[in-house]
Structure 1
Amino acid sequence: MAGNRPKKSADPVTQPALADFKVGVDNVIFSVDTAQNRLLALLVMRQEEPFLGQWCLPGTLVRQGESLEDAAYRILAEKIRVKNLYLEQLYTFGEPGRDPRESPDSYGVRYLSVSYFALVRFEDAELIANGVSGIAWYPLEQAPQLAFDHNQILKYGYQRLRNKLEYSPVAFEVLPDVFTLNDLYQLYTTVLGENFSDYSNFRSRLLKLGFLHDTGIKVSRGAGRPASLYRFDANAFTPFKDKPLVFI
């Protein structure tokens, strides 16, 4: 009987094709010019389409057999010479359509950006202009419209930098081996703004934590009283490493 015939199964739901990815690395490289109280970001001008002649973050596509971190260090080495450097992975940006080279059909190549952020000493950083018509430090508040979604990456990197300063010793990665507390305070105020803490509270809190070593050496700068030189004691900081420490 017709009523006993097995029902035909419904057509399987068509699944989207798997994406074919190219992976790039984009570096948000910050530096602090404490002499002029400026937080700077390194930008380069694109030499090819898309966005020919437009400013962007230093970046590269990852090569065969190359790790993400190696690619990040490679692009750093191609753009800047510096001794003291702090680098860490930031975030992966992969929204469809973030790169105009992506094809609108489901079989097109997608472009992912694994971003890193770096903090370098401004005084020691030497920019490399080989083969680049434009490379410059831009004050963060004066950053132009960047290629791709790099303004978003830059904003995300700035927020990460602010957070790192609040709970980690990242500042000591880029300070000289010995420094005054005012040097340290100037770095913090440049990144976080002048109203984050007054100097006396900042000084008192950090000295109580016990990982700044007074070298016993004083330095004179201008007409003020000589200032003590301190050194960051990594061993003394070890007990704080996995605690929710707040510096400020």
Structure 2
Amino acid sequence: MAGRSLKPIPKPDLADFKVGVDNAIFSVDTAQNRLLVLLVMRQEDPFLNQWSLPGTLVRQGESLEQAAYRILAEKIRVKNLYLEQLYTFGNPGRDPREAPDSYGVRYLSVSYFALVRFEEAELIADGVSGIAWYPVQQVPQLAFDHNQILAYGYRRLRNKLEYSPVAFDVLPEVFTLSDLYQLYTTVLGENFADYSNFRARLLKLGFLCDTGVKVSRGAGRPASLYRFDAEAFAPLKDKPLVFI
């Protein structure tokens, strides 16, 4: 109708966010062929006495990555590790503290995933009554949306092993091809690839350097020790590769 004024559509209030970091810390137990994830027992509400991924709210003046490394340093001692930002989880209602009477505060989780070797990772239990490695396939119901974060991290880890040298960040400086193959089978399953084909493919890529040293383990033939050659890998870094 002519001359009729339109009322402005009211804009919703902007959300007030708190930002946390949650780490899916995986370890590879090649001795027992298990992929494990680190869980901690929550010591406060919400989800008191329930297992969760290690997490924290980001402190003033702290970057997201610094918060992720802080959580790692508070829970485990380890020399070799791989850490990568995973995903941001921020659906409304993912945290019970987002109640209507909480002044609209929303809780975001910027998640990271880490990979360490089980043999090298020493748990730090100072001030923590519940901290444990759980087989990925036996994880209970976790606090918040941490089962979803864990599932996302597990998929990313499997994908990273297929096209990137992430495994060499957690292996010792020198290793046998059997060591490398065992790490892959622990994460991807026994039937991911035949050892002979795996060995041939990795050597053909040209970034594994034979040290000329052999090591004897058990009654089998001595095995050659290899080293990851970062310089040889550099030209391939941005090219599509398939490691397996």
TM-score (norm 1): 0.96
The superposition leaves residues 6-58 of structure 1 with CA deviations (integer Å, 9 ceiling, x where unpaired) of 62422211211100000000001001000000000000000000000000000
Matched, 1:244 2:243: no
How many residue pairs get aligned? The number is 244
Partner of 2:6: 10
Alpha-carbon RMSD across the aligned residues, in angstroms, is: 1.2
Name the aligned partner's letter for residue 137 of structure 2.
Answer: E
The superposition leaves residues 67-89 of structure 1 with CA deviations (integer Å, 9 ceiling, x where unpaired) of 10111111111111110011110
Matched, 1:221 2:217: yes
Larger-gyration structure (1/2): 1
Partner of 1:149: 145
- Whole-angstrom CA distance in 2 between matches of 1:16 and 1:86: 41
Partner of 2:57: 61
- Counterparts of 1:102-181 in structure 2, within 5 Å, are 102-104=98-100, 107-181=103-177
Q: CA deviation at 1:193?
A: 0.8
- Whole-angstrom CA distance in 1 between matches of 2:158 and 2:40: 23
The question of whether the paired residues in 2 share the 8 Å contact of 1:17 and 1:107 is answered with: no
Structure 1: gaps of 5 or more residues: none
Name the aligned partner's letter for residue 119 of structure 1.
Answer: L
- Counterparts of 1:68-107 in structure 2, within 5 Å, are 68-104=64-100, 107=103
- Whole-angstrom CA distance in 2 between matches of 1:76 and 1:214: 33
Instruction: Please state whether the residue corresponding to 1:117 is helix, strand or coil.
Output: strand
Partner of 2:42: 46
Name the aligned partner's letter for residue 172 of structure 2.
Answer: P
Instruction: Please state whether the residue corresponding to 2:144 is helix, strand or coil.
Output: coil
Q: CA deviation at 1:106?
A: 9.2
Among residues 10, 16, 23, which one is paired with 1:20 in the alignment?
A: 16
- Whole-angstrom CA distance in 1 between matches of 2:102 and 2:224: 63
TM-score (norm 2): 0.98
